[in-house]
C-alpha cells in the first residue's frame, strides 16, 4: 500500500510516499527556515503564504521522485492538527481537494503522534509497549504506547516546550534561529559545567517545565556581564564573549538533556517497556542521544537525523497504520484543529 503524506503544520512544506509504513519511496521538504530566520522565529502569515506557493510543486516532486503516478497511490494522509492554523489549512485543503479529484481515501494525521512514526522506518520496528519521549518546538511529553493508536500520556511540559526553550535561550545568548542546532554546535567544544542552572522540581513524576530554566539562563547571563534584572534581554548577547556564549550554550544543553533523560529513565523503570523511542526536532540532538544510550538500559535505535524535524514521511507512515484500523474521513468534511492534544 503506497501512501502519499502531506505535512504543513508549521514552517516546512513536505510531501512523501511510503510503502506499507516501512519503505521510503520519496521525501520532499521545502523548509522556510531562511525566510523566518531574519525575524528570529516563525511568522505565521508568512509561513501560510509560503506553503501556498510551494504545496503543489512539493507534492508533484514527491510523486516524480518515487517514479509514481496518481494511479499508483492508494491513499493520502495529511496533518490536520495541531499547528499554526494558516499553515495547517494549506496542506489540509490541498489533500482534501486531491482526495476528491483523484478519488483516494483520506486519513487525517495528528502531527505530534506522527513524529513517533519516524522511528518505524528503522531496521527494527519498535515493539509495544513502547515508551516515547516526544520533544519538539511545540511539545515535550512522555507517552506509553500499548499499540498503534492506544496510548497514555505519562507527563508533559507545564509551560514551554523543550525546543522552544532551545530557541529562546539561543536568542538571549545571540545564536541564530532555529536555536536547537545552533546551541548544539556552540556547545561542542565548550564547558557544560561552566554555569550551574537549576532543574525544575515538579509534583508530576514525568512532567517537565522549561520556562524556569530559560529564566535561569537569562539571570545568569545578566550576572555574568554585570547588569541588573531590568536590563533588556535583547541587549545581552552583545556583551558576552564568544567563549562565555558557548559555555552558556553547553551548560543549558547539559541541564536540559539531563532533565529529559532523568524523566525518561524514571518512566522506563516504572513501566518496563519493550522499546524506547525519541521523536520530534530535539531528537536530532546528539547529546540527548548519547546520554539516553548511556543511561537507559535498553538498545535505542534512533531515527535518521533528517526525519526528526518536520517531514511527511512520518505522516505517510502513521497514515498506513491508521488505514489498517480506521475508516478514511469524508474529504468534504475534514476541518483543521490547531490545538488538538493527543489525549482528548
Q: Contact residues for ligand KG4 (CB under 6 A)?
A: 10, 136-138, 163, 166-167, 178-181, 184, 280-282, 284-285, 309-310
Contact assessment for residue 265 and residue 296, using Cβ atoms and an 8 Å cutoff = yes
Contact assessment for residue 82 and residue 121, using Cβ atoms and an 8 Å cutoff = no
Task: Round to whole Å and give the CA distance between 223 and 288.
Answer: 28
Cβ proximity to ligand KG4: between 181 and 273 the closer is 181
Taken in order 16, 19, 21, 22, is the CA torsion positive or negative? negative
Query: Which cell numbers hold the place of 70?
Result: 496518481
Task: Round to whole Å and give the CA distance between 72 and 1.
Answer: 9
Residue 201: helix, strand or coil by DSSP?
Answer: coil
| Residue 264 site contact among ligand KG4, Zn ion, none (CB < 5 to 8 Å, cut-off depends on kind) | none
Instruction: Provide the minimum distance between the beta carbon of 134 and ligand KG4 in the complex, in angstroms, as a whole number.
Output: 9
- Bridge-based pairing of strands 75-81 and 106-110 is parallel
| Residue 180 site contact among Zn ion, ligand KG4, none (CB < 5 to 8 Å, cut-off depends on kind) | ligand KG4
Contact assessment for residue 210 and residue 162, using Cβ atoms and an 8 Å cutoff = yes
H or E element, residue 144: strand 140-147
Task: Round to whole Å and give the CA distance between 50 and 84.
Answer: 13
Residue entry with cell 518496563: 272
Instruction: Provide the minimum distance between the beta carbon of 70 and ligand KG4 in the complex, in angstroms, as a whole number.
Output: 28
Cβ proximity to Zn ion: between 178 and 328 the closer is 178
Cβ proximity to ligand KG4: between 175 and 221 the closer is 175
| Residue 285 site contact among ligand KG4, Zn ion, none (CB < 5 to 8 Å, cut-off depends on kind) | ligand KG4
Contact assessment for residue 13 and residue 54, using Cβ atoms and an 8 Å cutoff = yes
Instruction: Provide the minimum distance between the beta carbon of 117 and ligand KG4 in the complex, in angstroms, as a whole number.
Output: 13
| Residue 181 site contact among ligand KG4, Zn ion, none (CB < 5 to 8 Å, cut-off depends on kind) | ligand KG4
| Residue 108 site contact among Zn ion, ligand KG4, none (CB < 5 to 8 Å, cut-off depends on kind) | none
Cβ proximity to Zn ion: between 131 and 312 the closer is 312
Cβ proximity to ligand KG4: between 32 and 222 the closer is 32
Interface ranges with Zn ion (CB under 5 A): 136, 310
Instruction: Provide the minimum distance between the beta carbon of 101 and ligand KG4 in the complex, in angstroms, as a whole number.
Output: 29
Taken in order 290, 18, 137, 274, is the CA torsion positive or negative? negative
Q: Which is nearest to 279 in space by CA: 256, 307, 315, 318?
A: 307
Query: Which cell numbers hold the place of 87?
Result: 499553515
Instruction: Provide the minimum distance between the beta carbon of 3 and ligand KG4 in the complex, in angstroms, as a whole number.
Output: 20
Task: Round to whole Å and give the CA distance between 108 and 328.
Answer: 8
Cβ proximity to Zn ion: between 136 and 275 the closer is 136
Instruction: Provide the minimum distance between the beta carbon of 310 and Zn ion in the complex, in angstroms, as a whole number.
Output: 4
| Residue 167 site contact among Zn ion, ligand KG4, none (CB < 5 to 8 Å, cut-off depends on kind) | ligand KG4
Instruction: Provide the minimum distance between the beta carbon of 281 and Zn ion in the complex, in angstroms, as a whole number.
Output: 6
Cβ proximity to ligand KG4: between 281 and 331 the closer is 281
Amino acid at each position: 500500500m503506497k501512501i502519499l503524506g502531506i505535512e504543513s503544520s508549521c514552517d516546512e512544506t513536505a510531501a512523501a510516499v511510503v510503502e506499507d509504513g516501512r519503505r521510503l519511496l520519496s521525501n520532499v521538504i521545502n523548509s522556510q527556515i531562511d525566510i523566518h530566520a531574519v525575524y528570529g522565529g516563525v511568522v505565521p502569515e508568512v509561513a501560510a503564504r509560503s506553503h501556498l506557493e510551494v504545496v503543489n510543486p512539493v507534492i508533484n516532486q514527491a510523486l516524480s521522485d518515487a517514479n509514481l503516478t496518481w494511479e499508483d497511490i492508494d491513499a493520502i494522509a495529511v496533518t490536520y492538527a495541531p499547528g499554526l492554523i494558516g499553515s495547517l489549512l494549506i496542506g489540509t485543503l490541498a489533500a482534501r481537494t486531491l482526495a476528491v479529484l483523484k478519488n483516494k481515501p483520506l486519513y487525517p494525521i495528528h502531527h505530534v503522534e506522527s513524529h513517533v512514526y519516524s522511528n518505524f522506518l528503522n531496521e527494527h520496528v519498535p515493539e509495544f509497549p513502547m515508551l516515547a519521549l516526544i520533544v519538539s518546538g511545540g511539545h515535550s511529553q512522555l507517552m506509553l504506547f500499548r499499540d498503534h493508536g492506544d496510548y497514555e500520556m505519562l507527563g508533559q511540559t507545564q509551560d514551554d516546550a523543550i525546543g522552544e526553550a532551545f530557541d529562546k535561550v539561543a536568542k538571549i545568548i545571540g545564536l541564530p534561529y532555529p536555536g536547537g542546532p545552533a546551541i548544539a554546535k556552540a556547545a561542542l567544544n565548550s564547558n557544560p559545567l561552566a554555569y550551574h542552572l537549576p532543574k525544575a522540581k515538579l509534583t508530576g513524576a514525568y512532567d517537565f517545565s522549561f520556562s524556569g530554566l530559560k529564566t535561569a539562563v537569562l539571570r545568569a547571563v545578566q550576572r555574568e556581564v554585570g547588569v541588573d534584572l531590568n536590563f533588556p534581554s535583547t541587549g545581552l548577547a552583545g556583551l558576552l564573549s564568544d567563549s562565555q556564549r558557548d559555555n552558556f550554550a553547553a551548560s543549558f544543553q547539559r541541564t536540559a538533556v539531563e532533565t529529559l533523560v532523568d524523566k525518561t529513565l524514571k518512566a522506563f523503570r516504572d513501566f518496563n517497556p519493550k522499546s524506547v523511542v525519541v521523536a520530534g526536532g530535539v531528537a536530532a540532538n546528539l547529546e540527548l542521544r548519547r546520554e539516553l544510550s548511556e543511561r537507559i538500559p535498553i538498545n535505542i535505535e534512533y531515527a535518521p537525523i533528517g526525519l526528526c524535524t518536520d517531514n511527511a514521511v512520518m505522516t505517510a507512515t502513521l497514515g498506513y497504520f491508521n488505514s489498517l484500523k480506521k475508516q478514511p474521513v469524508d474529504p468534504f468534511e475534514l476541518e483543521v484543529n490547531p490545538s488538538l492534544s493527543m489525549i482528548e
